[in-house]
């Protein structure tokens, strides 16, 4: 990822949730450079990479 970016790790969502579904929700607040879901044996992690700082709008 480019310098100055931010990476957010999101956990605790159902196994049926797709990376693009969560990316859609987060893109309302920030400009995403990349969204990728990693599935592990017991934990699913979504990695969201921001191409710039999050907007001033706060998340609900």
The reply to whether 45 falls in a domain is yes
The reply to whether 35 falls in a domain is yes
CA atoms within 13 A of residue 58's CA, in its CB half-sphere? 1
What is the extent of the structural domain holding 23?
Answer: 6-50
The reply to whether 58 falls in a domain is no
The reply to whether 1 falls in a domain is no
The reply to whether 59 falls in a domain is no
The reply to whether 57 falls in a domain is no
Tell me how many domains the chain contains.
Answer: 1
Residue 19, classified by CB atoms within 10 Å of its CB into exposed (0-12), middle (13-18) or buried (19+), is middle
CA distances from 43 to 7, 29, 36, 37 (A): 18, 25, 14, 11
pLDDT average per 10 residues of sequence, the chain (60 residues): 61 75 74 60 58 50
The reply to whether 40 falls in a domain is yes
Place of tokens 């607040």: 29
What was the pLDDT predicted at 53?
47
What was the pLDDT predicted at 40?
53
The reply to whether 15 falls in a domain is yes
């Amino acid at each position: 990822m480019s310098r100055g970016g931010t990476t957010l790790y999101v956990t605790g969502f159902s196994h049926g949730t797709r990376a693009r579904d969560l990316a859609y929700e987060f893109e309302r607040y920030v400009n995403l450079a990349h969204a990728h879901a990693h599935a592990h044996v017991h934990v699913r992690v979504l990695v969201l990479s921001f191409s710039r700082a999050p907007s001033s709008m706060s998340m609900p």
